[in-house]
Structure 1
C-alpha cells in the first residue's frame, strides 16, 4: 500500500497541535488486521471560532490535504461551538485519513500521574489539552482518561490516548471508523461512506451492537453517562417512527441468527439468509453500513458452514473481509451480482 507522509503543526485557541503523519490513500487491497476501537472523546473541545455560511470554515488549521481542524459545522452536545475534523475535499469510502501513534498508553487512569511526571513538557501539554467531559472529578487525570481513552486490546488491559483522533466527534450514523492496528502500534481512521467537502468526519463512540440495538433515547442516555453529552447528531434528529420500526425489525432478525458454529439457526437456511439480505438493506437505510454489517455477515457465514455450503461460505467470507476489514464496499445492493448465490436461491 503506497503511503504519503505529511507533517503539520499549529495552534488554535491556545491548543498545541501534534506533529502528524497522516496517510491518505484509497485502497482496494486487503487492509492490515486491526482492532476496531470504541472511543471516548467528548464533543466538548471548545473554541471561539466564528461561524461561516461557506462550505469550509474560514478559521481553521489544514492538517492534511483532505482534513482541517475547525469549528464543528454541527455540534451534537451543546449550543456552544466545538472543534471538529472537517473534510476540505470530497472523500471516498476506504480513504485512510490519517494514522497516529498514541500520545501515551496506560493500564489504568491511576497510572497517569506517574507517567506524566516522567513525560516531556510537550506530552504533558498535549494531555491536558484533551477534552474533559467530567471537570468535577477530584482527579483531573481521570476525567481526561474517561473522556478520551481507547481500549487497545480486547481485554481492556491497555488503553491509549490520541491527540488527533480525540478531536473526532460522535455520530450515531458515523462516516469514519477508528481502528487500532496493534502490529504497527497506530490508530487508523478510514472513511466508511462518501463524505462531502465541508462535512465533518464523525465516528461512533458506541460499539456496533449498541448502535443497532439501542433506541434514540437509550443511546442519548448511554452517551450522557459515558461522555457527558446528550447526542443530537443528524442520525438522531432524523430518527422517527419509521426508523424506529426498522430498528425493531433489525433486532428481531439479529435475535434469530446463530451466535455459534455449533448451534443451528432457528429457521431454515434460505429463510435466514433472506433475513440477512433484509438486514443489510435496513443497515443501509439507517446509514449504519458498513460499520455494523459484521453483525449479520458473520452469522451468514456460519449458516453456510453449518449447511456444508463451502462455495457460499467463501463468498460471504470474502464480503465480510472486504467490508469489515477495510470499512468500504457498496452501500446499496451490497451483495452485487452475487446476491442470488449468497442467498442460496440462485445459480
Structure 2
C-alpha cells in the first residue's frame, strides 16, 4: 500500500512534544495526517499547515466517530496522555482515567470504525526497576508507579483487541526522549517539564538557578544515575517505519524498545549542556529518589532487526545542541511577546 492509499493517519496528542515530531516525520514521508489534541499540554503552532486539526478529547466518542467518518483513518498513532511520574503517584486515578480509561474509548471506537492499525506510545516505566541494566522486551514488566501501570494496562487492552478483532498493533516502549527537530519546527515546550536535558537547558539559559542531582552514590562510573537518551526525531522516524511494517505484514503484533543501547550519567548530561552553552550549570546534590534504578538502558536489538531503522542523531552532544537551540527559540519568542503557541485559523 502506498502512503495514504487507504486514508490518513490520526495522531492523538499530535500537538505535544513527541507527537508533533511524529507528525513532521509522517508529513515528510508523504502520509496524509490528522491531529487530535486537547491542547492541555500541546501547542497548535507545532501542527504543520495542511494537517487537519481537531481540538478535543480522545474520550469523546462522538468526535472520534466524526473523525473516522470524515477521513477514513487507516492508522492511529496514540501519544495523548499524562506523563509525569510523581504526579501519577499523587493522583493515580486521574492517570488511570486519562491514560487507560480514555485509551479504552479510543481503541473501542477504532475497532467499531474498522481502523486496521494502531501504534501506541508506551514507556520503559512498564519495566519498573529491572534486575539487569540492559532491558529487552522479555524483561519482566513490573511497574512501580501508576504511570507505568496505566501504560501497561493499555498495552494489554491492545493485545486483547488485536486477538479478538484483528487490530494490527505496534507498541513502542520509549526510554529517555530528548532533543528537538533539527530544523527548529518543534521541540519540548511544556512548562514545568521534568526531563533532565530540558531542565538543564533551561538552567543554562538562566530560566532556572540550578539543577538537582538525585543520588550520587549509585554503582556507576561517577555515582549518578545512567539513562539511555534517544533523540526525538530518531524516535519519530521509528514510528513511521513501524507503520510501514504494519502495512507490509498484517497480523504480526510488534513490541519494541526504543533507545540506542548506550547510557549517559546525569553528570555526563550536565557536562554536555555546559559544552554546548559555554557556561556552567550549578549542580545541587540531593539524596536518591525512591524507585530510581542506578542504570536503565535499552537493548534495541529487536527494533534494529525488525525495522530498517538507522538513527541519525545518536550522539549526546547533538541531542543537547538541538534541545538548547529550541530552548533559545522559546526564549526569543517570550522576549518578543509571543508564546510557545499561537492561534491558527481553521481548527475543528
* TM-score calculated relative to the size of structure 1: 0.29
**Greater helix proportion:** 2
- Which has the greater radius of gyration? 1
* TM-score calculated relative to the size of structure 2: 0.29
